[in-house]
Amino acid sequence: MQNILELGFAHGKSTLYMAAALDEIGRGSVITIDKQNAKERDPNIIALLENVGLKQYVDPIFANRSYTWELMKLIERNTHNNYCKPLFDFCFIDGGHTWDVTGFGFLLVEKLLMPNGWILFDDLAWTIESSARIPDARKEQIPEEERKTAQVGKAFSLLVKQHPNFHNFKDDGWWGWAQKKPFEEQSH
């Protein structure tokens, strides 16, 4: 895997692992997207990439609200004659964490993922209720059902596993893997 898309990078630790793997094989790139506030993290992704000398493999994008808008722009740039050319052979989704962002993000990624490419979801069991990072006052503004539901897990089970273009599912309760079928096996 050498054409990688990462959705949600926080400080950039997982990005560094992927960039190091690309450095090992001597080619490839990571496009990684997170919100603008990721710039304020200490350390942030740019500092980490510079410190380890892997900046040439990574293109960090800082989105205003969500990675879904940036995915739309990737699809738009790569659509010709009503067909979006797939760009990535691996996608790691570790951001958004809500039904709407994760679910819609997956549907957008499906257009950008090459046949036989893999997609990995982190945090299948994560809930808003269990998050130590979300202030209680903010949690109380979210309906209880949404707070207590593992929304990434719902997107994986209800969208990914039911999608006709995916197979080879692996789910350990926290990580969810799926492979896009070869082109000739996909429903068009």
Q: What is the DSSP letter of 141?
A: T
Q: Is the dihedral of CA 117, 122, 124, 128 positive or negative?
A: negative
**Residues 6+ positions from 188 with CB-CB distance below 8 Å:** none
CATH superfamily of 3-185: Vaccinia Virus protein VP39 (3.40.50.150)
Contact 12, 34 (CB under 8 A): no
Domain map (residue ranges) of the chain: 3-185
d(CA 16, CA 21): 9
Consecutive H or E run containing 114? strand 113-121
Distance CA 147, CA 127 (A): 6
Q: In the prediction, which pLDDT does 141 show?
A: 92
Question: Nearest Cα to 178, choosing from 165, 168, 188, 187?
Answer: 168
Positions in the chain whose pLDDT score sits under 70:
none
Model pLDDT for residues 70-80, shown as the tens digit of each residue: 999 999 999 99
Beta carbons within 8 Å of 32's beta carbon, 6+ residues apart: 5, 6, 7, 9, 12, 15, 45, 58, 59, 60, 61
pTM of the model: 0.94
Q: Where are the alpha helices (DSSP H) in the chain?
A: 13-25, 45-52, 67-77, 99-112, 136-139, 144-148, 151-155
